[in-house]
Amino acid sequence: MKFFLDTADLGEIRWAEQAGLIDGVTTNPTLIAKSAGDVDPTDILKEICSLVDGPISAEVVAVETEEMYTEGKALAQLADNIVVKIPMIEDGLVAVRRLSADGIRVNVTLCFSSVQCLVAAKAGAAYVSPFLGRLDDIGHDGMDVIRETRAIFDNYDIETELLAASIRHPRHVTEAALLGADVATMPAPVLRKLLLHPLTDRGLDRFLSDWSKIAHPSKVEV
Ligand code: G3P
């Protein structure tokens, strides 16, 4: 499973990249707005693309086909690793078809059902992004969409990557991985939590404390 970082925060991206923990980044207008301040969003995207050698999703804010297509083309010019993110609406799907025909990779976002994912894949999406946390928030089980979409894509040998988004906690990552999602995109705090277990910390404390009881503790020399 690939891990993407769901953020436009350059500090978080640098940390995750240097730790070798991520394969790509996803952004959206909310995340860019949070990080941009006075900085031009385009500069932030370019910086992210130079920091991470993997797909970087950048979302259009237009909602009509022609404008989405033009904006998508412009975003794709920013760097070779840009993936254009398009919302799952009818005008968007036409833009997806046109951008994919031009060889531009597209991530269809705001998917909340497996059939939306199927339609997006048929339009030529390279990635589909079902939102797990937001479905859970309204009392649904977001993981049902992952399970169904995986089965549908496998039934028809669809190569579109299934990208589990709106991830809120490590259990989302585990379950999405068990169900065969290709990618999990998550905020930095969730990525950090993937590394943690209280028994790991307790175990290390014990090892170090026991070692310190040796009369002349020393490190093994190379
Ligand atoms: O970037 C799309 C998605 O991951 C957003 O997540 O937490 O805003 O529902 P969230």
What CATH number corresponds to the domain at position 79? 3.20.20.70
Task: Kindly state whether residue 86 falls inside one of the protein's structural domains.
Answer: yes
Task: Give the model's pLDDT for residue 105.
Answer: 98
- Residues 6+ positions from 137 with CB-CB distance below 8 Å: none
Residue 130 lies in a domain: yes
User: Is residue 215 in a domain?
Assistant: no
pLDDT of residue 217: 67
**For residue 170, what pLDDT is reported?**
98
How far is ligand 1, taken at its centre, from the CA of residue 39, in Å? 22
Does residue 219 lie in a domain region? no
User: For a substitution probing ligand 1, which of 26, 131, 186 has the most ligand atoms within 8 Å of its CB?
Assistant: 131
- Out of 73, 85, 193, 213, the active site residue is 85
Alpha-carbon distances, residue 68 vs 73, 75, 76, 98, 131 (angstroms): 8, 10, 12, 10, 21
- Interval 127-167: pLDDT, tens: 999 999 999 999 999 999 999 999 999 999 999 999 999 99
Question: Which pLDDT score is estimated for 9?
Answer: 97
pLDDT of 74 above 70:
yes
Q: Token pair 């923990």 is at which residue?
A: 21
Please check the confidence at residue 215 and state whether its pLDDT lies above 90: no
Q: Which atom of ligand 1 is nearest to the CA of 31?
A: 1
Question: Mean pLDDT over all residues of the chain?
Answer: 96
Share of the chain above pLDDT 90, in %: 94
CB distance 193 to ligand 1 below 6 Å: no
Residue 99 lies in a domain: yes
- The answer, yes or no, to whether residue 2 has pLDDT greater than 80, is yes
**Residue with the nearest Cα to atom 10 of ligand 1?**
166
| CB of residue 166 inside a 6 A radius of ligand 1 | yes
Please state the domain count of the chain.
1
- Whole-model pTM: value is 0.95
Mean pLDDT calculated for residue range 177-206: 98
Mutation choice for ligand 1 from 4, 13, 28, 140, CB with most ligand atoms inside 8 A: 28
Give domain status of residue 168, yes or no: yes
- Mean pLDDT, rounded, for 190-203: 98
Give 36 or 170, the one with higher predicted confidence.
170
Average pLDDT over residues 113-123: 98
Q: What is the pLDDT of residue 194?
A: 98
The confidence score (pLDDT) of residue 131 equals 98
125 located within any domain: yes
Q: CA-to-CA distance for 123 and 125, rounded, in angstroms?
A: 6
- Catalytic residue list contains 2: no
Q: What's residue 38's pLDDT?
A: 83
User: What local confidence, expressed as pLDDT, does residue 37 receive?
Assistant: 82
For residue 222, pLDDT beyond 80: no
**Is residue 208 in some structural domain?**
no
Q: Which residues pair with 58 in a beta bridge?
A: 84
Q: Which domain holds residue 172?
A: 2-197
Of 57-71, 168-182, 203-217, give the lowest mean pLDDT range.
203-217
Residue 32 pLDDT exceeds 80: yes
Written as one string, the DSSP assignment of 105-117 is: -EEEEEE-SHHHH
Three-class SS of 68-105: HHHHHHHHHHHCCCEEEEEECCHHHHHHHHHHHHCCCC
